[in-house]
Amino acid sequence: MKNKLFGIRVPFYILGIVLVVCSAASLRASCIDELVNIPATDLAALIGDIQADWASREAAHTVAGFKVVRFDGTTTKAETVYAGFKYKLISHRIDGDNDGSVNDLHYALIRYPKDYVAGSGPYPVLVLNHGGAGGVSFDYLMDFDASLPDDYVARNFFVVVPSYRAEKIYTQDLFSSIGFPDQIFTSEGVQSILNYDVDDVMVLLKAVLAKIPDTDPTRVAAYGTSRGGGVTLLLDARSPKIKRTVDFFGPSDMILYSDLMIDYACSGITITNPSRHVIKPAVDTYLAGDLYLARRMLIQSSAAYFPAGFKMLQMHHGLDDEAVGFEHTDRMAEAIDTYVDGGGFPIPSYEKWLYAGGGHSVGSLTGQGDRVREFLGSL
């Protein structure tokens, strides 16, 4: 368990202390000191509350209404063979919702291993978690394939592409051969970036493993970029099903954005960073007088406070990433080191790859494809 670039491990001291030291801005007087400087005892209690909530939500996860989608007004199912792959667009019901209702409809795309033959499994399963806040395109899957040096994953994995609640799946020309090009499917519910994204994936994964023959529940991996990297980190922290995790420049600790939160709260400067969907509501909640909830909104979206759940993690980050700084990957690695150095068990392992000149795109991280291929190929 080493930093793969520099070959060293750096202890992170006491987990609660990071909230004081992680940003120089959080040390200076500000109008949100209480929010970003959380005493260790309060932090421990908050983590316990969040974990109890997660356990309660997971206990409520059920597989309901799982089926292949039919195109509106037709009896035609959204399934096809495209470039040698079998695809299905499926729907199921999301329970444990965050909008006061249950059983919202959720969509996902499933791709079978290339040249799949029924009964030839079991095959491992890979979940692809997308970045951004506007849904996921079929192109995301195509870009993932193109980022790897060969078609090993394509030939040997079921690949699952979830939308998240209130977001869309854009299929482009996937279903053109059966007469339905440019189809768009919108999942129901209220958007809940990072927090309930993970529940959406957990319920979907439970459904896929139960309903799709030849999937192997003992070999499940997750891959994510940007917001999807944050989802993937939290998924690993929460779900024992995940055996391999690949994170590309995902946010790991919202407190690292204290500079932006101070600028917004104290000076009225607009937050444009991708993590604004978490940090702005948290600051607004704090300014409205609810300190506990505001802190909880930050910590429950920060995988670095939950290292005990991790198994095998590979992280990639560009040193010139201006959207999600590489300190998020450093922070995640240091949190695992602190957990292990403190006697934590079972012991997670990780690889941390930092790329000189790399930005906020997979294509800018030279050599990542071979590393991802080797890592997933060992599942």
247, 222 contact by CB (below 8 A): no
- pLDDT greater than 70 at residue 294: yes
Range of lowest pLDDT (22-31, 153-162, 288-297, 302-311): 22-31
The Cα 279–Cα 298 span in angstroms is: 7
Count of residues for the chain? Answer: 379
Task: Give SS3 for 127.
Answer: strand
- The torsion of the CA quartet 179, 182, 185, 190, rounded to 10 degrees, works out to -170
Asked if residues 124 and 379 have their Cβ atoms less than 8 Å apart, the reply is yes
Query: pLDDT-based confidence at 24, cuts 50/70/90?
Result: very low
Determine contact, residues 107/205, Cβ cutoff 8 Å: no
Taking only the tens place, the pLDDT of each residue in 32-61 is 999 999 999 999 999 999 999 999 999 888
pTM of the model: 0.91
Tokens standing for 93?
């019901």
* Percentage of residues in the chain having pLDDT higher than 70: 90
* Comparison of pLDDT for 192 and 8, the residue scoring more: 192
* pLDDT digit string, tens, across residues 174-204: 999 999 999 999 999 889 999 999 999 999 9
Q: Is the pLDDT of residue 1 over 80?
A: no
Burial class (CB in 10 A: 0-12, 13-18, 19+), 58: middle
Q: Strands 168-170 and 158-162: what pairing? A: unpaired
208-223 as b/e, with b when 16 or more CB fall inside 10 Å? bbeebeebeeebbbbb
Provide DSSP, 137-192. Answer: EHHHHHHHHHHSSSSHHHHH-EEEEE--TT-EEE-TTTTGGGT-TT-EEE--S---
Per residue in 316-373, pLDDT (tens digit) is: 999 999 999 999 999 999 999 999 999 999 899 999 999 999 999 999 999 999 999 9
pLDDT at 255 over 90: yes
Sequence-distant (6+) residues with CB within 8 A of 83 are none
Residue 113 has pLDDT above 60, yes or no: yes
Query: What is the per-residue pLDDT for 101?
Result: 61
pLDDT at residue 206 tops 60: yes
Q: What DSSP element (H or E) covers 217?
A: strand 215-225
- 3-17, 68-82, 95-109 — most confident range: 68-82
Distance CA 9, CA 202 (A): 32
Q: Cα angle vertex 351, ends 333, 377, to 5°?
A: 145
- For residue 330, the SS3 value is helix
The overall average pLDDT reported for the chain is 91
Q: Give pLDDT, residue 103.
A: 78
Residue 126 has pLDDT above 60, yes or no: yes
Predicted confidence at residue 102, as pLDDT, reads 65
Distance CA 278, CA 284 (A): 10
**pLDDT, tens only, 273-287:** 999 999 999 999 999
**What is the mean pLDDT of the segment spanning 228-254?**
98
Residues 6+ apart with CB under 8 A from 116: 85, 86, 123, 214
The more confidently predicted of residues 25 and 298 is 298
CB proximity list for 322: less than 8 A, separation 6 or greater = 359, 360
Which amino acid, residue 21?
A: V
Mean pLDDT, residues 57-66 taken together = 89
pLDDT band at 4 (very low <50, low <70, confident <90, very high): very low
d(CA 35, CA 283): 8
Q: Averaged over 65-75, what is the pLDDT?
A: 95
Residues 52-77, mean pLDDT to the nearest whole number: 93
Helix 227-238 and helix 195-211, axial crossing angle in degrees, nearest 10: 70
- Which candidate, 226, 237, 252, places its Cα nearest to that of 365? 226
Question: At 29, is the pLDDT very low, low, confident or very high (cuts 50, 70, 90)?
Answer: low
- Is the pLDDT at 18 greater than 80, yes or no? no
